[in-house]
Copies of this chain bind each other. A is one copy, B any other.
């Protein structure tokens, strides 16, 4: 195996995939070469095409190969509500988990001056336009519960408050199925303070 320069280069290139070390990369390369040449060629072509054609939706910045994504184009989605998320993966998780039928805005990150991520990089000028558009009634801020995610949520809340909009954030609390003894103190204190009527 180690004698093939091209094979070694393929193994090295596969390590760009998340969670793939040398051993898995070798297994993947040999699997494709030994058993799945046709599907491997298809994967290479799909990967090149997707990286070439998929960009950000002009309205919500979600990933799409069209100018405007299908959620933004869909008449079945409620145009009076926008849910702001950090990433396409978060959008996908919400789509799967909730019955939300409004629209989205994807930041592709969170405010992080240390990493050079400011309002411009997150497309907040575009978000500002959408917040000012007639017909919008509700903004749901669904950033992650990290320090930077919270700071971003705070910033977005200020932006949204300039308009006559209902602004909400995801509820914090004890995760369903979580055991109290394993939950971090901050979350537990918050859940206790915000307890709801049984």
Q: Among A3-11, A164-172, A182-190, which stretch is in contact with chain B? A: A3-11
CA distance A49 to B7 in the complex (A): 10
Does A26 lie within 8 Å of B89, measured CB to CB? Answer: yes
Q: How far is the CA of A25 from the CA of B45 in the complex (A)?
A: 16
- Bound-state Cα–Cα, A2 to B63, Å: 10
Tell yes or no: A176 within 8 A of B by CB. no
* Contact assessment for B7 and A50 in the assembled complex, using a CB-CB cutoff below 8 Å: yes
Q: Is the CB of B69 within 8 A of A4?
A: yes
Q: Is the beta-carbon distance between A36 and B7 smaller than 8 angstroms?
A: no
Contacts of A7 in B (CB 8 A): 50, 54, 63-65
Q: Is A42 an interface residue (CB 8 A)?
A: yes
Stretch at the interface among A16-24, A115-123, A152-160: A16-24
Closest to A50 in B: B10
- In the complex, chain B residues whose CB is within 8 Å of the CB of A14: 43
Known: A24-B19, A44-B47. A3 touches B71 (CB 8 A): yes
User: If the complex has contacts A51-B40, A63-B7, are A30 and B89 also in contact, measured as CB distance less than 8 A?
Assistant: yes
Give A129 to B50 CA distance when docked, in angstroms. 47
Asked if A67 lies at the interface with its beta carbon under 8 angstroms from chain B, I say: no
- A101 CB–B CB distance under 8 Å: no
Instruction: Please determine whether B4 and A18 come into contact, CB atoms closer than 8 angstroms.
Output: no
1/0 per position for A128-162, CB-CB distance to B under 8 A? 00000000000000000000000000000000000
State whether A1 touches B92 (Cβ < 8 A): yes
